[in-house]
Amino acid sequence: MRIIGLDAVRQERVILDFGAVITGVTELLDPSVQELDYVAPGFIDLQVNGYAGVDYNSPVTSHEEIARSLRVQFACGTTRLLPTVITGTYEGMRGSLANLYAAKQALPEGIAIEGFHVEGPHISAEEGPRGAHPIQCVRKPDVDEYKGWQEVTGGLVKLVTISPEWPEAPAYIEALVREGVVVAIGHTGANRQQIQDAVSAGATLSTHLGNGAHGVLARHPNYLWEQMAEDRLAADFIVDGIHIGEAFLRVALRAKGVERSILVTDASAPAGAAPGRYQLGDQWVDLTPDDRVVLAGQTRLAGSALKMHKSIENVMRMTGVTLPQAVTMATRNPARVGRISGRQRGLVTGERADFVVFSMAEGQIQVEETWISGERVYQAA
């Protein structure tokens, strides 16, 4: 197979030859070929709670509905993702993970499920940092519970978000990191020493930095500054124009640099669906007409309705980063930090043949085609 396009990162006209992996990359020299769409590595989303009206936090969500939700994400250029299970009962979380793993095994679309992200239940119980996670299910870190998640997913829990304020956190982090799991800090009220202990134990990421926080913080010190200042931590951001403001995003990107910054959607079931009421685990959430996802009848955010290609548009508009930088934050960076093999070097020989082909006009991205492992999974009408 062959794709000809303008490499969105290197800004070079290229010819890509591929099967399941890229077999050759050459410069396009033919001057008669003028108008080219962009081609980029397929987008990678490390945090997706649900999509297209489909809740990933239910053990009874049908495989057909999961497949449909994945196809909707393909239309946004997403090629690999970590379905995310949030704080719930032990039985509920384990059941949701088992159902998602079974869907991955059974569905052709399941190739896009790279693994799973468990966000909680070992987070802060405090109002603010806890966010929309149910307080009755928050509990201390437990390695045996983690092993139960791995038992029902074939060892595919790849990312775990924890608050390091628990005394058990450093030992828990060390145990997971020894098994190759990425541990992130999130939904936390931790102090400086607790954050430093977590990083020394092996935590490498801040989950949706700037969110899952108290409404009022001390000027300094506080856990946002501590994470921004810690060079050993990468950070991911929900860039929907709702979760964090432009000023914070600009400052955070300067602190982390493009090389340690990642775009995620944190999408929940209402993403890609019409305004209305939807399920998130054992809770109900509303998608408002202005694209906010909130706990039903409240104003507290509960995930987002963000599409992956829109996060690239938004970060360029809000911060002035270039298209190559924005695409890197949605492709190579999550692959590297999330330890997703075959996706960390971009459009080079030997990498997986995951591509998104898109056009761009007046800052708006139009996804034309999405390819996963050399198979086209979406084509615009």
Tokens of 18: 């591929």
Name the residue ranges covered by the structural domains of the chain.
Answer: 41-343
Angle at which helices 169-178 and 143-153 pack, to 10 degrees?
30
146-167 confidence digits (pLDDT tens): 999 999 999 999 999 999 999 9
78-122 confidence digits (pLDDT tens): 999 999 999 999 999 999 999 999 999 999 999 999 999 999 999
d(CA 80, CA 73): 10
357 CB-near residues (< 8 Å, 6+ apart): 3, 5, 37, 38, 39, 367, 368, 369, 370, 371
Task: Please check whether residue 37 is in contact with residue 359, taking contact to mean a CB–CB distance below 8 angstroms.
Answer: yes
- The beta strands (E) that lie in the chain are given as 2-7, 13-18, 22-27, 38-41, 43-48, 50-51, 54-55, 78-86, 116-119, 157-162, 182-185, 205-206, 234-238, 261-264, 276-280, 283-287, 293-295, 355-361, 364-372, 375-379
105-115 confidence digits (pLDDT tens): 999 999 999 99
| Secondary structure letter of residue 242 according to DSSP | S
State the average pLDDT for the chain: 97
- The beta strands (E) that lie in 60-141 are given as 78-86, 116-119
Instruction: Please tell me the predicted confidence (pLDDT) of residue 20.
Output: 98
173-204 confidence digits (pLDDT tens): 999 999 999 999 999 999 999 999 999 999 99
| Secondary structure letter of residue 344 according to DSSP | S
Instruction: Please tell me the predicted confidence (pLDDT) of residue 33.
Output: 81
d(CA 128, CA 219): 17
CA-based radius of gyration for the chain: 20
- pTM score, whole prediction: 0.97
Find where tokens 């499920």 sit. 113
Instruction: Please tell me the predicted confidence (pLDDT) of residue 31.
Output: 80
Strand order in the sheet with 116-119: 43-48, 78-86, 116-119, 157-162, 182-185, 205-206, 234-238, 261-264
- Tell me the pLDDT band of 348, cut-offs 50, 70 and 90: very high
Task: Please check whether residue 162 is in contact with residue 183, taking contact to mean a CB–CB distance below 8 angstroms.
Answer: yes
User: Which amino acids are annotated catalytic?
Assistant: 266
Tokens of 78: 């997403």
- CATH code linked to domain 41-343: 3.20.20.140
% of the chain exceeding 70 in pLDDT: 100
d(CA 188, CA 85): 17
- Tell me the pLDDT band of 305, cut-offs 50, 70 and 90: very high
| Secondary structure letter of residue 182 according to DSSP | E
25-68 confidence digits (pLDDT tens): 999 998 878 889 999 999 999 999 999 999 999 999 999 999 99
